[in-house]
Chains A and B, each alone.
Chain A
Amino acid sequence: MKSIVKTTAAVAALVLGAGGAVAQDFPVRPINMIVPFNAGGGTDLLLRAFAPHFAEAVGGDAFVSNMAGGSGTVAAAALAGQKPDGYQMGYWSVTVATVQPQIKDIPYGLDSWTPICSVAASPTVLFTQADSPFKTVDDVVAAVKANPGKYIYGSSGPGAITHLTTVAAFSGLGVIDQMKHLPFQGSGPAMQAMAAGTIQFFGDTELLMTRGDFRPLVVFNNERLSSMPDVPTAAEVGIAAPLNELYLWGGLFAPAGLEPAVTQKLSAACEMAINSDGFQKFAADTSTVLNYRNAADFDPFYRAQYAANSALIDAAGL
């Protein structure tokens, strides 16, 4: 019995010792990269394509694990309480990191993380059916004002980026109180409802919009997109800050309190992985818009997004 206790203590000491190892030795163990959604989804595929290049760049091993549920919050809540040793990171989207903790009572928030790097970011677009009578945002505002309560905007769920996009648009245009919101379970059913005419407006990334017969009305970016130069930005149609820019972004987060030297190492590995030929090819094949920010830039960006989205959440009434 005594020897078991001794062995346990020795093993524990070893493990703790390894955890507290200095940054030069990092990593000595495989790094767990957590996808907060089911295997096979968009985030899962992205991280699985990213992981091997990241492992090579950091000079160690990395593996991807999935923990799904609660719009990504189950995984984030599980990671938030963990020891910040750099061996566990999650890939959080804008909604997991900045929206969900502000609308739900969940055990993590603004200060739960050490942001490592951003990987991808796409501006969102408000769109309508291609054969709809609305050609411009002005048409929409006039129609809504003439028929309050008649028009419906959809979303893939309350608090999702699709919801925030429509809220930013109609709240920014001052007509949100004269419209109805219809949440669906995912973008698929919502886009089907748009094709059926149940909803008239939907907002998502450009990538998703190009999959159907849709007409873009306004883009939530700081400048017009080269792929659709005729579509005005939100600022141009009179949507004021902070509602005028909205991005679906995602990046790597470790629990708060990670040693700066380890953060640096992970952040640099992230950059190398993003610039690797293999990951660049993946991004090109899947039309993923890459957007690298290092740890020093990503931290203020994340905090600013947290604050900006709180205005959106208020407008959405969540």
Chain B
Amino acid sequence: MIASLPEALGLIFTFEGLLVLSLGTMLGIILGALPGIGSTVAVAMILPFTLSMSQAPAILLLLAIHAGSVYGGSISAILINTPGTPQSAATCLDGYPMAQRGEAGKALGWATVASVIGGLASAVVLIFAAPQLAAFALNFGPIETFALILLGLTCIVSVSEGSLIKGLMAGFMGLFLSTVGGDPITGEARFTFGHFQLIAGFDLLAVVIGVFALSEVLTRAAASPEDIKPLVAFNGIVLPKLSEWKGRVKGLVKSVLIGNGIGVLPGTGAATAAFIAYAEARRSAPTRANFGKGEPDGLIASESANNAVTGGALVPTMALGIPGDAITAVMLATLTLHGVTPGIRLMSDNPVLMAAIFAGFFVINLMLLPLGMVVSRMAAPILRIKEAYMLVMISLLCTVGVFFVRGNPFDLLVMAVAGIIGFILRRQGYPMAPLVIGMVLGPTLEISLRQGLIITDGSFSAFFVGHPIAGVLAVIAVGMLALPVIRVIKDRQVSA
């Protein structure tokens, strides 16, 4: 790997290589920032253009689009409270309140630096430890995955703004929504009530865009003229000063590790990582009392973690030739089209190409900083458009984006209904983040639980015997749940 680096750098630092990397990253940021166009769609859209390229630039272009889109989602999350992609849903929680306070430039500054650091760190891990990490990931069977997702679900408690009960209800709603459609074990259709369209379940993106973006549009449209909060003022990114990092570095490191670790595991992804990192930061950060009100630490956690996943997800893809998610599957397919056989011998058979990919990934993340500043600068005038036009534009983009994912008109209906229900629920004080967490984690929770039960012949207690990793994760999960209760009791004792 290291030995092939000089030759690999020769592939990247050519006119074509650098052009592909910078244009790809920029395009990725723009696509990610457009609500509804998630990373998978962005990568699939660009795939046909890579066919006429040679091997290394083709893969680098897709990687640039991917990394750019994960970061780009944060721009719309912060500026218009609309996550461009599900993985930046956690970014809304603190990013938008900051922007409302008039610190949009600063919020984007934190998000950008956190994204760059998360991405760079995952690139370093990828270059030096991909085979070892891939081997470690094999320790995560269904039972360990179940315990991890259980831990992830405890985030619901920490992102439940205002009322814990309402947060839990929204979370369970999300979990329930994820069970509609084909049963992952028996293949039967569930909860379709005779409607064939429901056989494929609810599309995550359609629901996320509905409950976040469309309900935001409705909320603004329904507000009486005097209540309307102006769109946030934004004149470009303001990078955080070095002194402002005091006390935040520990949280950053932790979030990067969480992102990397979760990225390596099968069946999870950037959205999961962002929420888990956010919940962990909210549990342990010294500033935890300010979370949800526009605390940079919350932004740092979710943005560094979701960008760290982009590198982590490449670990099983490149080291074992096994795609970790839909995006890495597209990348492997691209390799195949260029005559490279994906598989367990991918790294040993193509050392230079792999080194070029890993080094290129590092360069992409370096480029995120200047390019992110350029693109968000371009977004600034858009925010000065009259609000009514802006709302129409957002609705239009959401519609196009959601339709593009599966090409199914039914998804538009799902988005519209989710938007209306989200609007009503938000008015009643139900937080929407738990609903998204439930929907993101639900499918993995179910399949890992049922796979585990098949392995243990239906004995749930056998889950934690002989599975030390699962046991530790479960203990942490219980601790996360107990923590708020303990705090309440302590507070009472103090006041009593």
Residues of A at the B interface (CB closer than 8 Å) are 38-42, 44-45, 48, 65-71, 73-75, 77, 103-107, 149, 152, 157-159, 180-186, 188-189, 191-193, 195-196, 198, 210-213, 282, 285-287, 318
The yes or no answer to B408 lying at the interface (CB within 8 A) is: yes
Q: Which of B353-381 contact A (CB under 8 A)?
A: none
A40 CB contact (under 8 Å) in B47, B183, B184, B341: B47
The yes or no answer to B326 lying at the interface (CB within 8 A) is: yes
Given contacts A39-B44, A74-B199, A211-B342, whether A188 and B454 have CB atoms under 8 Å apart is no
Given contacts A39-B47, A212-B321, whether A104 and B184 have CB atoms under 8 Å apart is no
A residues near B316, Cβ cutoff 8 Å:
188, 192
Q: Which of B289-348 contact A (CB under 8 A)?
A: 316, 320-324, 326, 329-330, 333, 336-339, 341-344
Q: Is the CB of B199 within 8 A of A40?
A: no
Q: How far is the CA of A181 from the CA of B139 in the complex (A)?
A: 20
Q: Is the CB of B457 within 8 A of A195?
A: no
Q: Is the CB of A182 within 8 A of B451?
A: yes
Q: Is the CB of A188 within 8 A of B44?
A: no
Q: How far is the CA of A195 from the CA of B135 in the complex (A)?
A: 9
Given contacts A39-B47, A69-B200, A188-B322, whether A103 and B333 have CB atoms under 8 Å apart is no
> Min CB distance, A306 to chain B, in Å?
17
Q: How far is the CA of A211 from the CA of B48 in the complex (A)?
A: 24
Q: How far is the CA of A183 from the CA of B322 in the complex (A)?
A: 17
Q: How far is the CA of A165 from the CA of B336 in the complex (A)?
A: 24
Q: Is the CB of B329 within 8 A of A189?
A: no
Q: Could you jot down 8 A-B contacts, CB within 8 Å? A: A75-B407, A104-B182, A157-B184, A192-B266, A193-B141, A195-B138, A195-B320, A285-B336
> Min CB distance, B154 to chain A, in Å?
23
Residues of B at the A interface (CB closer than 8 Å) are 40-41, 43-45, 47-48, 137-142, 181-189, 196-197, 199-201, 203, 266-267, 316, 320-324, 326, 329-330, 333, 336-339, 341-344, 405-408, 410, 443, 447, 451, 454-455, 457
Q: How far is the CA of A241 from the CA of B405 in the complex (A)?
A: 41
B residues near A77, Cβ cutoff 8 Å:
196
Q: Is the CB of B320 within 8 A of A74?
A: no
> Min CB distance, A166 to chain B, in Å?
14
> Min CB distance, B234 to chain A, in Å?
33
Q: Determine the residue in chain B with the shortest Cβ distance to A77.
A: B196
Q: Is the CB of A71 within 8 A of B182?
A: yes
Q: How far is the CA of A184 from the CA of B187 in the complex (A)?
A: 11
Q: Is the CB of B337 within 8 A of A70?
A: no
> Min CB distance, B470 to chain A, in Å?
13
> Min CB distance, B205 to chain A, in Å?
12
Q: Is the CB of A42 within 8 A of B44?
A: no
Q: A159-B187, A212-B321 are in contact. List 8 more A-B contacts (CB 8 A).
A: A66-B407, A69-B201, A180-B454, A184-B447, A196-B140, A212-B344, A285-B336, A285-B338
> Min CB distance, B181 to chain A, in Å?
7
Q: How far is the CA of A42 from the CA of B47 in the complex (A)?
A: 12
A189 CB contact (under 8 Å) in B182, B266, B343: B266
> Min CB distance, A215 to chain B, in Å?
13
Given contacts A39-B44, A67-B408, A285-B337, whether A318 and B187 have CB atoms under 8 Å apart is yes
Please list the 9 inter-chain residue pairs (A to B) with the smallest Cβ-Cβ separation, ordered nearest first. A69-B200, A211-B343, A158-B187, A70-B200, A40-B330, A39-B44, A40-B44, A196-B138, A67-B407
B267 CB contact (under 8 Å) in A103, A105, A107, A189: A189
Q: Is the CB of B182 within 8 A of A70?
A: yes
A residues near B343, Cβ cutoff 8 Å:
210-212
Q: Is the CB of B138 within 8 A of A192?
A: yes
B residues near A189, Cβ cutoff 8 Å:
266-267, 322
Q: Is the CB of B455 within 8 A of A182?
A: yes
Q: How far is the CA of A286 from the CA of B323 in the complex (A)?
A: 17
Q: Is the CB of A70 within 8 A of B455?
A: no
Q: How far is the CA of A210 from the CA of B344 in the complex (A)?
A: 9
Given contacts A157-B184, A210-B343, whether A69 and B329 have CB atoms under 8 Å apart is no
Q: How far is the CA of A186 from the CA of B323 in the complex (A)?
A: 10
Q: Is the CB of B187 within 8 A of A157?
A: yes
Q: Is the CB of B455 within 8 A of A74?
A: no
Q: Is the CB of A69 within 8 A of B185?
A: no
Q: Is the CB of B139 within 8 A of A196?
A: yes
Q: Determine the residue in chain A with the shortest Cβ distance to B447.
A: A185
> Min CB distance, B80 to chain A, in Å?
27
Given contacts A40-B330, A48-B48, whether A68 and B184 have CB atoms under 8 Å apart is no
Q: How far is the CA of A286 from the CA of B338 in the complex (A)?
A: 8
Q: Determine the residue in chain B with the shortest Cβ distance to A189.
A: B266
B residues near A182, Cβ cutoff 8 Å:
142, 451, 454-455
B residues near A70, Cβ cutoff 8 Å:
181-182, 199-201
Q: Determine the residue in chain A with the shortest Cβ distance to B457.
A: A149
B141 CB contact (under 8 Å) in A186, A196, A210: A196
Q: Is the CB of A68 within 8 A of B329?
A: no
B142 CB contact (under 8 Å) in A73, A106, A157, A198: A198
A68 CB contact (under 8 Å) in B140, B408, B447: B408
Q: Is the CB of A104 within 8 A of B200?
A: no
Q: How far is the CA of A183 from the CA of B185 in the complex (A)?
A: 6
Q: Is the CB of A40 within 8 A of B43?
A: yes
A residues near B44, Cβ cutoff 8 Å:
38-40, 44
Q: How far is the CA of A212 from the CA of B196 in the complex (A)?
A: 37
Q: Is the CB of B320 within 8 A of A192?
A: yes
Given contacts A48-B48, A68-B406, A211-B344, whether A192 and B337 have CB atoms under 8 Å apart is no
B residues near A318, Cβ cutoff 8 Å:
186-187
B residues near A183, Cβ cutoff 8 Å:
184-185, 447, 451
B residues near A44, Cβ cutoff 8 Å:
44
> Min CB distance, B44 to chain A, in Å?
4
A residues near B447, Cβ cutoff 8 Å:
183-185
A residues near B323, Cβ cutoff 8 Å:
186, 188
Q: How far is the CA of A275 from the CA of B94 in the complex (A)?
A: 58
A residues near B267, Cβ cutoff 8 Å:
185, 189
